[in-house]
Structure 1
Amino acid sequence: MNDDFDFDLDELAPSDAASEEAAERFWSGDLTALSHHHTSPNGSHSFVVAHDRSVTWGIPGAPQVVAIAVARDLSQFTFTLETSQHATVPFAQNWLAERGCPPDRIALVGNYAKPADDLTLQVEQQIRGSGTRYEVLDTHTSDSDPCETWTLAHDSSGGQAPIRVFQEEVGLDAGTYTMREGAFADEDAARSWLDDRSGPLPEPPEYSDRNGTVVRARVARIALARSAGTSAMSGAGFDTSRTPPTGPAQRPVQGRLL
């Protein structure tokens, strides 16, 4: 981990072997904070969504977003550090929310691609607030054109179509992205669609009412605007100035970093 990326752990010792291993990974990694939240007044907990640029040089298709939860025991001078890899930001935010972080405090800000429409906002909000509803089965990240990321998940509330595909596509020229949800009866059907793309992503049954009219729930406003308390780029000592390495292997942050 470079000197510009600081979790403020210098005076603390890892509370267990897992925390020590995670901290060592970050010291040698290449992270860019996308959003973060620190508790007050004593800063005992930190929640971070970051892009791990080192992944872009590794296994093709691997998830590039990492969720980081830090708990500091200031009385014992120790810390616990948990991490989880995700293909898209909403799933990382969901993981952090399950560990006590308010979802609206880690909303993306800055020079990133914007949601293209209300349905994208709706699907992302659904993921963020889903709790343990979705069990992630597989993911894939593609930085080539078209820039796409998908997450294959089992939906415990999915009824007759419990397998869901969450597909994010980025329009680099427009500076926007879409997130769509597809529903399948089983995993084989979902993987077949991902392999051949023989038709449009099938919408979940709950999107339609009795007349077959597509239902779009009214979208709650998401805290995407900058604020002093939630800015991902201010006052935390995270790496916000460096750029990814140039050359053929350079990749955007899920197509969001413009």
Structure 2
Amino acid sequence: MSNDLGFSLDDFEPADADSEYLEQQFWTGDLTVLAEHHTTPNGSHSFVLAHDGSATWGVPGAPQIRAIMVARDLDQNTFTFESAYHSSVAFAQNWLIERGCPPERTQVGGDFMKPADDLTTRVEERLRTSEDRYEVLDSFTSDFAPCETWTLTRDSTAARAPVRVFLEEGDFESPTYTMREGAFADEDAARQWLDDRSSPLPQPPEHREHATALRTCAALTRSAGASAVPKAGPDARSAPSAGTTQRPGSGRSM
């Protein structure tokens, strides 16, 4: 990670008013770069994933992860500047990937907090590659106790419980974090859980069904394996071994 960031726009003019405004408001001093990618050899695009330290002093709960894309028109010597804030790195990575950044170049390294378990890694990978599957409804970031962020979304592919909460909890001592997904029938139910927290985060129904299917498959496999083993019985014990003969009226082999 670093704070050394520049887009080399001295010879370019903004292509529109929005790009001009964002470029004028942009200050690298608040940013800690988590990942970046600049296309080569012509340098037409730059993609940056960063933590914005100034968000800590702004509106309470505001997102602190910033995704930035700069596209340069090398023929017209103009540029477009886009930027978006996210509560979670995975959502910011999704934003960059959707705009053409190679997924592997959005990966965070260095001293940033690491996923605490495989489930966190799987949930984040799904978010990164989900395209426009999740509509973000709201989010909240807390960098004090408890250290957590949540993102309230609507899953466009979910047949049941389409409102999803992605809860990220950090542990500075590790330093690691977990990401979990909760499913709710509607937005009111999700917000009530976020305010209350008196029960575990409800698992998505498809996750429960998948876990049940795995257990059923494992049970059937064990059952099939057991039934394939010959059972020892009285007939098996009295049968002579191969290559032996028995004396009539005798239980001994010769």
TM range (shorter): 0.7 to 0.9
SS in 2 for 1:212: helix
2:17 and 2:210 map into 1 onto residues whose CA distance is: 55
SS in 1 for 2:145: coil
1:177 aligned to 2:181? no
SS in 2 for 1:170: strand
**Which residue in 2 is equivalent to 1:208?**
208
2:210 and 2:4 map into 1 onto residues whose CA distance is: 55
Q: TM-score, normalised by structure 2?
A: 0.80
CA RMSD of aligned residues (A): 1.7
Deviations 1:48-107 (A, max 9, x none): 111111111110100011110110111111110111110011101101111111211110
Deviations 1:119-164 (A, max 9, x none): 0000000000000000000000001112000000000011111000
**Which residue in 1 is equivalent to 2:60?**
60
**Which residue in 2 is equivalent to 1:255?**
none
1:207, distance to aligned residue in structure 2 (A): 0.8
Q: TM-score, normalised by structure 1?
A: 0.79
Alignment of 1:86-97 (within 5 A): 86-97=86-97
2:210 and 2:55 map into 1 onto residues whose CA distance is: 45
1:142 aligned to 2:142? yes
Deviations 1:178-230 (A, max 9, x none): 00000001000000000000111111111123773679xxxxxxxxxxxxxxx
1:132 aligned to 2:136? no
Structure 1 residues 51 and 134: alpha-carbon distance in aligned structure 2, compared to 1, 3 A threshold: same
Q: Which segments of structure 1 move beyond 4 Å, counting only runs of 4 or more?
A: none
Letter in 1 for 2:54: S
**Which residue in 2 is equivalent to 1:44?**
44
Contact 1:207 1:214 in 2 (8 A): no
Letter in 1 for 2:195: D
Contact 1:152 1:166 in 2 (8 A): yes
**Which residue in 2 is equivalent to 1:110?**
110
**Which residue in 1 is equivalent to 2:218?**
none
SS in 1 for 2:67: strand
Please identify which structure carries the higher helix content: 2
SS in 2 for 1:209: helix
Letter in 2 for 1:156: S
1:86 and 1:9 map into 2 onto residues whose CA distance is: 25
Deviations 1:25-52 (A, max 9, x none): 1137621211011111111011111111
Structure 1 residues 210 and 92: alpha-carbon distance in aligned structure 2, compared to 1, 3 A threshold: closer
- Structure of larger gyration radius: 2
Higher relative contact order, chain-length normalized (CA < 8 Å, sep 6+): 1
1:62 and 1:94 map into 2 onto residues whose CA distance is: 19
**Which residue in 2 is equivalent to 1:20?**
20
Letter in 1 for 2:119: L
1:110 and 1:126 map into 2 onto residues whose CA distance is: 22
**Which residue in 2 is equivalent to 1:77?**
77
SS in 1 for 2:178: strand
**Which residue in 2 is equivalent to 1:33?**
33
**Which residue in 1 is equivalent to 2:9?**
9
Structure 1 residues 210 and 55: alpha-carbon distance in aligned structure 2, compared to 1, 3 A threshold: closer
Letter in 1 for 2:55: V
